Amino acid sequence: MEWQFFSVGNAVCWLPKENVMRISNLFNVTMVAASAFALTACASGGSGGMDNGQRMAERGGDITARGKTWTDGQRDQREGQKLLSRSAKRAADGEKDLKNAQEKMVKAQRQIEDSRTERMNGEQLVSSGTQKMQQAEAEYSSIRNGPSAVPQP
């Protein structure tokens, strides 16, 4: 560890070099802040500054600027509330439309399944009907080829 001689006013001591640097920096910052504070106090504390009218006019400008900012803030807040309200309504409408579309989709899927079932039933009936007709035709043909139902003289 490296030691360094350090003094402030009447105080003198030997400190590690890294501590001396920290203390020096802290002392410098403190002195700068104190100087700035003293200069500000001197500049604003004098009687050679503005008169009452000038100070009131300056404050009026500051108040006007803050009033404009306040008014702008109120306008932005109103517009933001409108946007929030409008977006909430649009989201609700979108959700309602989506729900309706999903219900329509379920209904359409049910119709498709029902039509497929009906088609299968229809194909089965056509096949069964065709078989019955073929059987009836075969039976009729055998009856027609047989003896006459009307006695012959």
Which range, of 28-32, 48-52, 131-135, 144-148, averages the lowest pLDDT? 28-32
Q: For residue range 37-74, what is the model confidence (pLDDT) as tens digits?
A: 555 545 444 445 677 777 777 777 777 777 788 888 88
- Angstrom CA distances, 25 to 22, 29, 36, stand at 5, 6, 17
Q: Which residue has the tokens 């497929």?
A: 116
CA atoms within 13 A on the CB side of 39: 6
